[in-house]
């Protein structure tokens, strides 16, 4: 027993210095940093950044059948020669929106079988004090009327009306705008005013003059206390123009004929007007109302535009490049929707009527009457068109929507414009109706 005790004492004396050394090392050695908290902080930062970025988009795949091969059409563009049916990706949009501290960056691309293009590219800043004022700059929707800014993913008809496609090709433009709208917490949130300056030639063209166009839109939206009735009204104004490229500018005038007179284009060939501004001025009014009835939501929508539009001999469309001789016309156009949800089902019916009269100074058989001398006769570009659209929408689920839509197009007729080609003979109604079957996936 004494030997065992002696052995334990000896071992204790031998191990003591080692134990003291280990304890001392633990006291003097700094603690290793905890790596968990930095990782968590980084994850929180990444999540915060991702929460500011919103990615959305939609794709519209469709099949179309036209009455006649090779027709000119506003139902997704002209049909190629000898083609009366086609498959197409009408729109393939991907939108990136990043929000941070009263500012927003937006970039939207369009991908179809025709290529890749930019639809939106703008920045927006909202005042941090009263949250009522905002400035937006870049490529954006032109703030005129209602239908331009109404998203193609939500719009019930496959395409915008003829008048908007003619006056505002591409819907967007490059410029800057000021917006006034009180925040949602304000009782004056129903008021919205947009006013801006734009190049005036569309989103995909290089400016060919130094003129800037003013666009303004005042909108008021109100709802009943039960939210079952919603009403919106708006007024719009456009004031701009483009550079006159030649000394020839043709304006409508009552010109004498051997057997009377007719409205036609009278020439103004003043050389000093080269480089001056051709007036482009529009006035518009729009209204929307919806009723949430037991038999389904009913929506009525309409818009009217009139004004002065400088174009060319063959078209009243707003130009994207410097035109030649200018032809100035007074125009009018409108559209009307009746949209009816069928009870609480997934079906929705659409009735839409729109018209565009590019030259309200002349009509019928007076269009195309020959004029002598340097003055010019009116022609196919001065024909009024109206379209009655009938559609049925089926909402497969919250992301998928299927639309069947039939455009019935009617043109103004004149015995003075006759051609052997069916598509160019305006003495009768052209056969240019179009049926569209579309499926849309939205995320």
Confidence band for 3, pLDDT divided at 50, 70 and 90? very low
Q: What is the percent of the chain with per-residue pLDDT over 90, rounded to a whole number?
A: 78
CATH of the domain at 349: 2.40.160.10
Question: Mean pLDDT of all residues in the chain?
Answer: 90
Q: What is the mean pLDDT of residues 162-191?
A: 95
Q: What is the mean pLDDT of residues 287-293?
A: 95
- pLDDT at residue 9, as a whole number: 47
CA angle 358, 381, 372 (to 5 degrees): 110
- pLDDT at residue 36, as a whole number: 74
- Residue 24 inside a domain? The answer is no
Tokens matching residue 104: 């927003």
Look at residues 385, 330, 383 and name the one whose alpha carbon lies nearest to residue 361: 330
Quick one: CA dihedral 353, 70, 169, 426, positive or negative? negative
- Residue 165 inside a domain? The answer is yes
- Residue 112 inside a domain? The answer is yes
- Residue 44 inside a domain? The answer is no
Tens digits of residue pLDDT in 255-272: 988 888 899 999 999 988
Please list, in sequence order, all residues whose beta carbon lies within 8 angstroms of the beta carbon of residue 120, skipping any fewer than 6 positions away: 95, 106, 107, 108, 138, 139, 140, 141, 172
- Residue 36 inside a domain? The answer is no
Q: Residue 284 — φ and ψ, nearest 5°?
A: -140, 155
Instruction: Work out the burial of residue 201: count CB atoms within 10 Å of its CB; fewer than 13 is exposed, 13-18 middle, 19 or more buried.
Output: buried
Question: Is the pLDDT score of 273 beyond 60?
Answer: yes
Instruction: Specify whether the CB–CB gap between 381 and 326 falls below 8 A.
Output: no
Question: Is the pLDDT score of 92 beyond 60?
Answer: yes
Confidence band for 30, pLDDT divided at 50, 70 and 90? low
Question: Would you say how long the chain is, in residues?
Answer: 443
Tens digits of residue pLDDT in 396-433: 999 999 999 999 999 999 998 877 566 678 899 999 99
Number of other CB atoms surrounding residue 109 within 10 Å: 16
Question: Is the pLDDT score of 16 beyond 90?
Answer: no
Look at residues 224, 220, 230 and name the one whose alpha carbon lies nearest to residue 192: 220
- Residue 2 inside a domain? The answer is no
Q: What is the mean pLDDT of residues 244-258?
A: 92
**What is the count of structural domains for the chain?**
1
Please list, in sequence order, all residues whose beta carbon lies within 8 angstroms of the beta carbon of residue 402, skipping any fewer than 6 positions away: 393, 394, 396, 437, 438, 439, 440
Q: How far apart are CA 355 and CA 412, in angstroms?
A: 11
Q: Kindly report which listed range (18-27, 339-348, 376-385) carries the lowest average pLDDT score.
A: 18-27
- Residue 270 inside a domain? The answer is yes
Question: Is the pLDDT score of 148 beyond 50?
Answer: yes
Question: Is the pLDDT score of 340 beyond 50?
Answer: yes
CA distances from residue 120 to 97, 171, 206, 207 in whole angstroms, order as listed: 10, 11, 16, 18
- pLDDT at residue 115, as a whole number: 93
Task: Say how far residue 252 (Cα) sits from the centre of its chain.
Answer: 32
Check: pTM over 0.85? Answer yes or no.
Answer: yes
Question: Is the pLDDT score of 20 beyond 70?
Answer: no
- pLDDT at residue 5, as a whole number: 52
Tokens matching residue 162: 């003829």
Q: What is the percent of the chain with per-residue pLDDT over 70, rounded to a whole number?
A: 90
Q: What is the mean pLDDT of residues 9-23?
A: 49
What residue numbers bound the domain in which 332 lies? 65-442
Tens digits of residue pLDDT in 346-391: 999 999 999 999 999 999 999 999 988 899 999 999 999 999 999 9
Please list, in sequence order, all residues whose beta carbon lies within 8 angstroms of the beta carbon of residue 16, skipping any fewer than 6 positions away: none
Instruction: Work out the burial of residue 411: count CB atoms within 10 Å of its CB; fewer than 13 is exposed, 13-18 middle, 19 or more buried.
Output: middle
Tokens matching residue 106: 């937006």
- pLDDT at residue 300, as a whole number: 98
Number of other CB atoms surrounding residue 202 within 10 Å: 19
Task: Say how far residue 412 (Cα) sits from the centre of its chain.
Answer: 28
- H helix or E strand, kind and range, residue 61: strand 53-66
Q: Kindly report which listed range (52-66, 227-241, 253-267) carries the lowest average pLDDT score.
A: 253-267
Instruction: Specify whether the CB–CB gap between 250 and 263 falls below 8 A.
Output: no
- Residue 51 inside a domain? The answer is no
């Amino acid at each position: 027993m004494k030997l065992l005790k002696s052995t334990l004492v000896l071992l204790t004396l031998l191990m003591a210095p080692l134990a003291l050394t280990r304890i001392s090392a633990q006291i003097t050695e700094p603690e290793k940093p905890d790596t968990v908290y930095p990782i968590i902080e980084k994850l929180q930062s990444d999540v915060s950044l991702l929460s500011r970025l919103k990615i959305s988009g939609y794709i519209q795949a469709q099949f179309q059948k036209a009455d006649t091969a090779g027709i000119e059409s506003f139902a997704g563009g002209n049909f190629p020669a000898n083609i009366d049916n086609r498959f197409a990706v009408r729109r393939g949009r991907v939108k990136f929106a990043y929000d941070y501290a009263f500012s927003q960056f937006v970039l939207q691309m369009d991908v179809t079988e025709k290529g890749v293009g930019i639809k939106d590219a703008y920045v927006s800043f909202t005042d941090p004090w009263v949250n009522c004022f905002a400035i937006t700059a870049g490529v954006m929707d032109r703030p005129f009327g209602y239908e331009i800014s109404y998203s193609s993913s939500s719009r019930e008809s496959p395409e915008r009306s003829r008048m908007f496609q003619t006056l505002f090709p591409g819907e967007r433009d490059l410029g800057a705008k000021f917006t006034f709208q009180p925040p949602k917490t304000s009782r004056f949130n129903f008021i919205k005013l947009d006013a801006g300056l734009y190049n005036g030639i569309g989103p995909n063209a290089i400016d060919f003059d130094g003129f800037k166009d003013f666009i303004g839109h005042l909108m008021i939206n109100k709802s009943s206390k039960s939210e079952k009735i919603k009403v919106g009204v708006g007024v719009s104004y456009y004031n701009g123009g483009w550079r006159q490229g030649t000394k020839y500018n043709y304006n409508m005038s009552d010109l004498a004929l051997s057997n009377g007179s007719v409205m036609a284009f009278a020439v103004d060939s003043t050389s000093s007007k080269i480089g001056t501004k051709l007036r482009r001025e529009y006035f518009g009014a729009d209204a929307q109302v919806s009723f949430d009835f037991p038999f389904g939501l009913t929506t009525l929508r309409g818009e009217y535009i009139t004004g002065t539009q400088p174009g060319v001999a063959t078209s009243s469309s707003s130009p994207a490049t410097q035109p030649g001789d200018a032809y100035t016309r007074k125009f009018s156009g409108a559209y009307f929707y009746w949209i009816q949800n069928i009870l609480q089902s997934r079906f929705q019916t659409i009735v839409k009527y729109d018209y565009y009269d590019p030259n309200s100074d002349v009509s019928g058989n007076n269009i195309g009457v020959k004029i002598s001398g340097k003055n010019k006769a009116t022609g196919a570009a001065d024909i009024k068109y109206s379209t009655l659209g009938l559609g049925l929408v089926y909402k497969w689920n919250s992301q998928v929507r299927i639309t069947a839509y039939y455009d019935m197009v009617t043109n103004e007729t004149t015995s003075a414009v006759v051609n052997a080609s069916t598509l160019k003979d305006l003495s009768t109604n052209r056969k240019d109706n179009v049926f569209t079957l579309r499926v849309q996936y939205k995320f």
